[in-house]
Structure 1
Amino acid sequence: MNSITDLKSNTAYTLDSLQTIDEGDRSRIELYADHAVKVAVAILALGMKYLAADAYYSKVKFVSAIIPTGLNIVGSLQWLYEGAYKGSGRSKKYDGKVDFDMDVHRFD
């Protein structure tokens, strides 16, 4: 289901809904991407340019299908780690999820 969120009224309105019917040769993420591409024109016509999606949709098959439509995807937001290397193992990449209530001071 695709919906439009009105942040001022804290309400989501359904834009389009489609029952997923499995196809033998296509994955669910490909079917979801097709649906999002189909409604991208309507989303852009409303003056919106961002598609908020769950972290599940941060897959190459989904993102690579959405980007050519002109929409930008916002998924799970995490802070990049900017601290020093601790000296063992792989370098730390992330510094936790963004919490908009607590982390506003970290934005430029």
Structure 2
Amino acid sequence: MGWYYNESTGEPQRGLEITMISITDLKSNTAYALDAQQTTDEDGRLRVELYTDHAIKVTAAVLALEIKYLAADAYYSKVYFVSAIIPTGLHIVGMLRIDSDLHWLPERTC
């Protein structure tokens, strides 16, 4: 048992948490669970690291199904997660967090 953020209540709550990776069939409008993993607190590791490890663990199975897009919630729009997923060959589709701070480099005209 640990403390986990419950988005539906907007606050941390004590309980169990799992991460689920699902395959979505757009034609039947259904998601099928591919892999679930209980989130455990590990000393010195952030949650985003645990979630990233889980996503990388199932990458081979996802790519074998000829899937190349990973749809992720705004929480996963973090440099750590994105920079670890891109080398696997998957493309990330998702929202940005409300506190995102984007910087566009201007194109040189000279």
What is the TM-score with the length of structure 1 in the denominator?
Answer: 0.70
Question: Does structure 1 residue 65 correspond to structure 2 residue 81?
Answer: no
Structure with the largest fraction of strand: 2
The 5-angstrom pairing of residues 13-92 of structure 1 reads: 13-76=32-95
Gaps of 5+ in 1: 78-92, 94-108
Q: CA deviation at 1:76?
A: 1.1
Aligned structure 1 segments of 4 or more residues deviating by more than 6 angstroms: none
Separation (CA, whole Å) in 1 of partners of 2:81 and 2:56: 10
- 1:103 corresponds in structure 2 to none
- Opposite residue 66 of structure 2, the aligned amino acid is G
**What is the percent sequence identity of the aligned residues?**
74
* CA-CA distance at 1:24 after TM superposition: 1.1
Paired positions, count: 78
What is the rounded CA distance, in whole Å, between the counterparts of 1:22 and 1:66 in structure 2? Answer: 22
Any idea what the Cα deviations from partners look like across 1:5-59, whole Å, max 9, x if unmatched? 0010010000000001011111000100000000011000000000000011000
1:106 corresponds to which residue? none
Give the greater-gyration-radius structure (CA): 1
Partner in structure 1 of residue 4 of structure 2: none
Structure 2 gap ranges (5+): 1-19, 97-103, 105-110
Distance in 1, matches of 2:62 and 2:49, equals 19
